[in-house]
A and B are shown apart, each in its own frame.
Chain A
Amino acid sequence: MFEKIWSRHVVAEGPGGHVLLYIDRHLLHEGSTSAFARLAKHGRRVRRPDLTFATADHYVLTSPGSVAIDAEIRAMVESLGQHTREQGIVYFGVGDPRRGIVHTIGPEEGLALPGITLVCGDSHTATHGAFGALAFGIGSTEVEHVMATQTLWQKKPRVMRVTVEGRLGAGVTAKDVILAIIAEISAGGGVGHAIEYAGSTMRAMSMDERMTVCNMSIEAGARAGMVAPDETTFAYLEGRPFAPRGDAWGAALASWRALPSDPGAPFDREVELAASAIAPTVTWGTSPQDALPITGRVPDPAVAGDAARRESMERALAYMGLNAGTPLTEIKVDRVFIGSCTNSRLEDLRAAARVVKGHRAVVPAWIVPGSGLVKRAAEAEGLDRVFVEAGFEWREAGCSMCVGMNGETAREGERVASTSNRNFEGRQGKGARTHLMSPAMAAAAAVTGRLTDVRTLAT
C-alpha cells in the first residue's frame, strides 16, 4: 500500500534517492503563520490554495467565549485568518462551528482520503493515515516549501508492519493497543519507518479507533502510520463535505479498493502482538514507552539492563514523584484531561460518559471535544449533561491541556490522568506530571481520584 501511494506521487527523481513528492492535501494551524510570513517576504504565493485548509486549534482558549490569553496570541490567530483570506484558503476559524483540532477536522470534513499524500506542520499528522493515506508531519521550512510548490523533497522511509490479532478484552481500547505497541518497539523503534497497522484487531476497529492508533505512530518514532482502507473507511467518508461526490465517488472507490497491500508484499520489519495480551494500560514515566498494565507496579530502576536505562528511569521516577514498587492503582491524581487529537472524538466521549454515569468527579476534570462538530454531536446525545452533572467541565474544542500553548496548563507538581499522547517533562505545563491512558481509564481516575482499573469500577 505504501509503495503504491508513494510511486503515484513521485514528480521527479533527485540525487541520493530523494524524490520530489507531490502533496494532495496541506493542513495548516496557527503554528503555520511564520511560514506564511516567510512566503510573503519572498514575494511567493500559495501554489494550490484549493488543496490547502486551515484551522485554529493550538492557541485558542477552550473556555467558552474567549479567544486568547494575551495580545501576542490573539495577533497570531488573526494573522492566520488574514493570510488564509488573502490566499483564498478555506479556514475553519474562530466562530466557525467546524473549528477544531486539525487532526480531528481533517477526517471529519473528508479531507483525509485513501491513497493520497497529506502533510501538516504537526507531528501527529499520522492520524490521517487511518484512512490509508500517506500522512506525515513536517517542519516549518517544509510547510513553506509545500505552500510555494505543493511538493516536498523526501527520501523513501522503510516500512514496518505491525499486526495485531484477536479480540480485545473488556475495558481494553485502541489507546491501550498503541501504548502496548510503543512499549513493545520503544519510543525510537519506528525511526526511519512508516508503520502499516494490520490484523484482525485493526480490521474490527472503527475509524475513530484507527485514528487513535495511527495518531501515536510518532510516539513510536515513526513519521507515518497507516491502515488499509476497507468498507469501514468508505462508510465513514461517504457524504463528508470535501469527500468525492457523484461520479468521482465511484472512481475513488474503485481506486481505493485496489490500494491494500498485496498478500505476500514484503516489509522491512514485522512486529506481531496478540490482542489478548493487552490490558488497560497507563504510563508511569516521561516517555510514552514507559507504559504498563494498570495491574502492575512502578518499576524498579535497579532491574534495568544497562546504566543509561537505569539513569533515565531514576530521572523519570524523580520527576514523576513515584517510588519503585508502588501499585499503579495507588497513585493519586490531581486532575483529569480528556481531550487531544488522540482521544477527543465522539466515541471517546461516549466511552468516558459510560464510566462517569452515576459517579462524581473528585478532582478537577476537563472534557475538551476535538472539534465543534464533535461537541454538537455529543450534546445531541446528552453526553454533556452526563459530564456536567458529574462535576466535569465541558469545554470548547481545541488542543488545550495536551500541550498548553494557549495557557491552559496543569500546575507545577500536579499529577494529571490524560488521554493525550505525550508524557514528556513539562508537556502539560512546567513541572506537571502526566499519565497517559484511554478515555475510559481517565474517566475512572476522575471519579476515584487515583489511577484505576476501569474493569473494577462498578458502572
Chain B
Amino acid sequence: MEPFTHLTAVAAPLDLPNVDTDRIIPARFLRKPRGATGYASFLFHDVRFNADGAERPEFVLNQAPYRDAKILVVAENFGCGSSREMAVWVLDAYGIRSVIAPSLGDIFHQNCFKNGLLPVILSAEVVAGLRRQLHDRPGAMLGVDLEAQTVAAPDGTRHRFDIDPFRKEMLRTGRDEIGLTREFEARVREFEERHAREMAWVTPPRR
C-alpha cells in the first residue's frame, strides 16, 4: 500500500448527500479485475457518461479545472450502501487520494484506510464552506497534511481533523495489516484455546 503523508492537489466538490456505492461504481463493473483497462472510467460511470459514452458536461469531473482532482470534497453519508471495496479501488484508479466529508458510510470509510486513501471527517459547516470555495474558484488546491492532521483551504484557513492513531500510523507507513496481526499470533492462539473452552458450543459440529 502506498503510504500517505501529505497532499496538495486540485479538489472537486460533490454536493449531493447520500452518494451510494452503486453510483460510485455500478454493479455491472464489479466483476472486472482491479486494474483492468479503462478501470478509472467506471468511476461514477452512469452519471459521468451518456449512453453513447460521451461525457456529460455538467458532471464536475468532466469540467476542465476539476479533471485532475486528487481530492473529493463531498456531502454527508458519502459511500453509503454496499460493502464493495471497488468503490475505493475505482477512486484510487482515477487518482483520488483523499475524501473530505461530514460523514461517510462505515464500510466505505474502513475500505479507504485499507487502500491508502485518507478519509477526512470535518464538521458539516466546514465541509460546506470548502465546497463553496471550490465552486467559486474552480481548480483551486487543498492541502491535506496527515502528520499535522490539517486541511488547508484555498482561503488560507486551516482546519484540524481527528483520526485515530492506529489508522494514521497504518496510512503513514503503508503497512500491511495482515503482517501486523501476525505479530499477535501467540495471543490469537491463546485466545482460541480459551474461547474453545469457554464457548465450546461455538465450534460447528463436523458435517
Check if B177 sits within 8 Å of A145, measured CB to CB: yes
Chain B residues with a Cβ closer than 8 Å to the other chain, count: 62
Give a binary string over A76-103; 1 marks a CB under 8 Å from any B CB, 0 the rest: 1000000000000010000000000000
Q: A149-B182, A422-B22, A424-B22 are in contact. Are A137 and B31 (CB under 8 A)?
A: no
Q: How far is the CB of B166 from chain A (nearest CB, A)?
A: 4
Chain B residues within 8 Å of A12, by CB: 184, 187
Check if B181 sits within 8 Å of A116, measured CB to CB: no
B202 at the interface (CB under 8 A from A): yes
- A12, closest chain B residue (CB): B187
Q: A34-B33, A251-B200, A404-B27 are in contact. Are A245 and B205 (CB under 8 A)?
A: yes
B103 at the interface (CB under 8 A from A): yes
Check if A31 sits within 8 Å of B17, measured CB to CB: no
Q: A15-B166, A115-B199, A315-B16 are in contact. Are A221 and B204 (CB under 8 A)?
A: no
Check if A148 sits within 8 Å of B178, measured CB to CB: yes
Q: How far is the CB of B57 from chain A (nearest CB, A)?
A: 17
A287 at the interface (CB under 8 A from B): yes
Check if B188 sits within 8 Å of A149, measured CB to CB: yes
A294 at the interface (CB under 8 A from B): no
Q: A14-B166, A123-B81, A123-B82 are in contact. Are A251 and B201 (CB under 8 A)?
A: yes
Check if B85 sits within 8 Å of A140, measured CB to CB: yes
A24 at the interface (CB under 8 A from B): yes
Check if A221 sits within 8 Å of B182, measured CB to CB: no
B110 at the interface (CB under 8 A from A): yes
Check if A141 sits within 8 Å of B77, measured CB to CB: no
> Among residues 164 to 207 in chain B, which have CB atoms less than 8 Å away from a CB atom of chain A?
164-169, 177-178, 181-182, 184, 187-188, 191-192, 195, 198-207
Q: How far is the CA of A73 from the CA of B46 in the complex (A)?
A: 22
A129 at the interface (CB under 8 A from B): no
Check if A155 sits within 8 Å of B181, measured CB to CB: no
Q: How far is the CB of A97 from chain B (nearest CB, A)?
A: 15
Q: A149-B178, A244-B205, A424-B22 are in contact. Are A141 and B184 (CB under 8 A)?
A: no
> Among residues 224 to 265 in chain A, which have CB atoms less than 8 Å away from a CB atom of chain B?
241-242, 244-245, 248-249, 251-252, 255
Check if A111 sits within 8 Å of B200, measured CB to CB: no
In the complex, identify which listed stretch (A172-180, A321-329, A371-379, A425-433) lies at the interface while the others stay far away: A425-433
Q: How far is the CA of A323 from the CA of B100 in the complex (A)?
A: 34
Check if B22 sits within 8 Å of A20, measured CB to CB: no
A208 at the interface (CB under 8 A from B): no
B34 at the interface (CB under 8 A from A): yes
B115 at the interface (CB under 8 A from A): yes
- B186, closest chain A residue (CB): A12
A347 at the interface (CB under 8 A from B): no
Check if A72 sits within 8 Å of B31, measured CB to CB: yes
Q: How far is the CB of A291 from chain B (nearest CB, A)?
A: 14
Chain B residues within 8 Å of A50, by CB: 203-204, 206
Q: How far is the CB of B24 from chain A (nearest CB, A)?
A: 10
Chain B residues within 8 Å of A113, by CB: 201-202
Chain A residues within 8 Å of B200, by CB: 248, 251
Check if A242 sits within 8 Å of B178, measured CB to CB: no
B83 at the interface (CB under 8 A from A): yes
Check if B199 sits within 8 Å of A8, measured CB to CB: yes
> Among residues 32 to 47 in chain B, which have CB atoms less than 8 Å away from a CB atom of chain A?
33-34, 46-47
Chain A residues within 8 Å of B20, by CB: 287, 422, 424
Check if A90 sits within 8 Å of B207, measured CB to CB: yes
Chain A residues within 8 Å of B205, by CB: 242, 244-245, 248
B147 at the interface (CB under 8 A from A): no
Q: How far is the CA of A327 from the CA of B110 in the complex (A)?
A: 41
B65 at the interface (CB under 8 A from A): no
B63 at the interface (CB under 8 A from A): no
Give a binary string over A13-57; 1 marks a CB under 8 Å from any B CB, 0 the rest: 011111010101000000100100000001010000011000000
Chain B residues within 8 Å of A311, by CB: 15-16
Q: How far is the CA of A149 from the CA of B183 in the complex (A)?
A: 11
Check if A425 sits within 8 Å of B80, measured CB to CB: no
Q: Which residues of B contact A (CB under 8 A)?
A: 15-18, 20, 22-23, 26-28, 30-31, 33-34, 46-47, 75-77, 80-86, 88, 103-107, 110-111, 114-115, 164-169, 177-178, 181-182, 184, 187-188, 191-192, 195, 198-207
Provide a sorted-by-A list of 5 A–B residue pairs whose CB atoms are within 8 angstroms: A139-B110, A141-B111, A191-B106, A424-B20, A426-B22
Q: Which 8 A-B pairs have the closest CB atoms?
A: A188-B77, A252-B201, A16-B164, A141-B114, A16-B166, A244-B201, A16-B165, A139-B111
Q: Other CB < 8 Å A-B pairs besides A15-B165, A139-B107, 4 of them?
A: A16-B165, A22-B188, A73-B31, A426-B26
